[in-house]
Amino acid sequence: MEHFTFTKYNDAEVTNNPFFKEYQTPYGTIPFDKIKIEHYEPAFEEGIKQRAQEIDRIIHNSDSPTFENTIVALERSGQLLNRVSSAFFNLLSAESNDEMMEISQRISPRLSESNNDIILNEKLFDRIKKVYEQKHTLQLNTEDAKLLQETYESFAENGANLHPEDKEKFRKLSAEESLLSLTFDQNVLKDENSYEMLLTQEADLEGLPESIREAAALQAKEKGKNGWLFNLTAPSYIPFMRYSAKRELREKMYRARMTIGNKNDPYDNKENIKKIVNTRLAIANLLGYETYADYALHRRMAKKPENVYQLLNDLLEAYRPAAMNEYNKIQGFALGMEGKNFTLMPWDWSYYAEKLKDLTFNINDEMTRPYFELENVKKGVFGLATQLYGITFQENKNIAVYHPDVTPYEVYDADNRFLAILYTDFHPRDGKQSGAWMNGMKGQYRLNGKDSRPHIVIVMNFTKPTETKPSLLTFDEVETLLHEFGHALHGMLADGTYESLSGTNVYRDFVELPSQLMENWLTEKAFLDQIALHYQTGEKIPEEMVRKLIDASNFNTGYLCLRQLSFGFLDMAWHTLATPFDGNIPTFEQSAWKATQILPVVTDTLMSSSFGHIFSGGYAAGYYGYKWAEVLDADAFAAFKTAGIFNREVANSFRDNILSKGGTEDPMTLYIRFRGKKPTIDALLKRNGIKK
């Protein structure tokens, strides 16, 4: 296979490139104010070149292979490449443009090639193997032993043991898979951003609360248009589907959302899906696995596909009766409103479910929204971290950011020791992907006796402030903030030696535990009393409203569980294929999740074509992890409920045994050390009211 050659850059290009110097910034934060688009490619190429030279020095070390001169040296390599990658790929999701996407298309194959040059290097793997074969005589501590194990297995699981001709096949396949996933992701972003629905008649706004109308009017004004503009981002799409009385417009929005990547246009992802799953299958087969799921699950808590299906089917059996009961109630409620010939369709569910919830509990987002002002909610979430872990947050305006919406904070431990940098990025904009996520701008590690602390970013797409109101969040948006903040805690409280084992660098089906655990506080009165204050009067959320929120917290829990299970079954179906796929994608999708569906099938719609989690987001054969994490978080929160939801002793145990440990030990070992036992689904069933 042809290898890449490097472009030579002149001294001026190197001198003026901020990536080539130590950052002279607070805590070594990324100098976003100095980085220009033209700086990325030279820095990527130089980073790849430097890492290759560092690997070369390991290989040609005349001393016998040791843990330090081989395993640790490999761990510490590639610092420049890490630096430019963390800046570029964070922005590619949060502040992208056509030029950034073009760079990513060019650099992705180079990175795959560079990674394969390392993974498939026989001399390097020979040194690693020699150290690994001595593991029982090296007297390594737990973390060092884990690094050795992970290093050896990451090479072995990525083709290092293959014959030379198969290594070349692996190299080609992995480069293809990387580029296909990137293209899938960019097609989704471009297709989603291309859709707008402009309403110019006030009659078309029937049912929409004033806050939603105001946000849509601001959106239109920002685009230089008159009227009310709606799009497929969460703060626009979700409330429209929930409140719009115009059924034909709800259907229009639903079909737009469910045809992303499925319009037979330049952004169509169907061929990408086939190529991705077939490429992954070929990789798995090359490495000796029957399916990609067998390959991917080997190093996760689930271990094998049968265990994933056991979890999914157990939950399906437990929750489907509740889901069908919920469906019958909402179908009956809709019939009572619309007449005997009415059939509940997917674009009707949120609308009638919200009306029934409002009627049953007399509670809805527009009643609670005034109590969830973003700045105050943020203070409340920060305050929860202070109560549990003693950490505090201090804004630092001298830290450069990549967009004016971003706010940087210094984070300090209970003893005033500097702990981390946290960036918050809350509102949607062009060039920003939908959804919410946490990323590391810089990981935590120890080197030469110094604890190098992490830089973390949490990114959301919350309702923007309007000309008359601050950003007022829905209950679900507050839950999202708590979720991503849980990931941030996992990163900020990291306390390890090696970056590759630090923070959220854990098994994929363990990583959601800290995030989903944090969501539990939102249905606790003691926490809501702290966080929910009226943005105009400052008064606490009324006790009756808190009771209604808690009572309504399990509304439609069966349906919501089946929705998550449907994604898990779809993911597993794609990744348990044992032969190459060339069938009809919509037919395959409907068959994969049929047991979880309770609403009529809508032809010409497709989930797979925009399912970024599994086709571009790292959750391939791993989406079940969200439900597994619910099992874990319900079981873990039961410990807080027993001792008190702000109990510092339980919180410190969770910090010491899970948050700070990252991937330094097997996750089940860590969990049992915290909880004293293995988890079961009982706590989740009780929390959701499925089991009394």
The catalytic residues are 484
CA distance 218 to 102: 31
Structure token pair of residue 16: 């003026």
Strands 228-230 and 392-395: unpaired
Residues 6+ apart with CB under 8 A from 658: 513, 514, 670, 671, 674
Closest CA to 462 of 238, 249, 242, 206: 238
Structure token pair of residue 9: 């850059």
CA distance 654 to 675: 9
Structure token pair of residue 635: 């079981």
Q: What share of the chain is helix, strand, coil (3-state, %, to 5)?
A: 60, 5, 35
Structure token pair of residue 111: 């990175």
Residue 352, classified by CB atoms within 10 Å of its CB into exposed (0-12), middle (13-18) or buried (19+), is: buried
Sign of CA dihedral 599, 604, 610, 615: positive
Structure token pair of residue 430: 């062009």
Q: Would you say 517 and 637 are in contact if contact means Cβ atoms under 8 Å apart?
A: yes
CA distance 469 to 373: 9
Closest CA to 267 of 186, 178, 176, 181: 186
What is residue 408's three-state secondary structure? strand
Q: Is 362 left (phi over 0), alpha (psi -120 to 50) or beta?
A: left
Closest CA to 683 of 626, 641, 650: 641
Structure token pair of residue 571: 């993911």
Q: What distances in angstroms separate CA 676 from CA 7, 20, 644, 653, one per listed residue?
A: 56, 48, 18, 11
